[in-house]
Amino acid sequence: MSLDVYLVTPACDHCKRGASQLYSANITHNLGGMAEEAGVYKHLWRPEEIGIVTAGQLVESLRAGVALLKSDPARFEAMSSPNDWGLYKHFVPFVEKYLAACEEFPDAEVRVSR
C-alpha cells in the first residue's frame, strides 16, 4: 500500500481542456506514523480533511515538517520500519521534493491517492 501525491493544473472552465499533471510522487504507508510525529500526516495523506486545495497551502507546514525531521534524526530514524519498507532516509527526501514542487507550483491543485 502506498500514498501517491499529485500537483495538477485545474481543468479549464472556458475551453474544457483537462487537468495537466505537474508533479507526482509515491511513498509507502509505513511512513504514516513518522509523518504524524513530524506534524505532516494530514497534509500528505488527507489534505482535503484540513481544507488544503492548492500546493501553496502546504508550503509552511511541509517546511516545518522537514525542519523537525532534520532537527532530530535519531528520533525519526527509530521510527523506520524494521522490514525496510518505510525508512527515514527515504521520507525526508520525499517531503523535501514535494515541498520544492509546492513552492514551484503554488497554484496547482493537490490530489492524493491512498
Confidence bin at 54 (pLDDT 50/70/90): very high
- 59-114: per-residue pLDDT in tens? 999 999 999 999 999 999 999 999 989 999 999 999 999 999 999 999 999 999 99
Domain residue extents for the chain: 2-113
Confidence bin at 10 (pLDDT 50/70/90): confident
Residue 8: is its pLDDT beyond 70? yes
Helix (H), strand (E) at residue 64: helix 59-71
Confidence bin at 58 (pLDDT 50/70/90): very high
Q: Is 34 exposed, middle or buried (0-12, 13-18, 19+ CB in 10 A)?
A: buried
- 26-35: per-residue pLDDT in tens? 999 999 999 9
Beta strands in 1-114 (DSSP E): 2-9, 20-28, 109-113
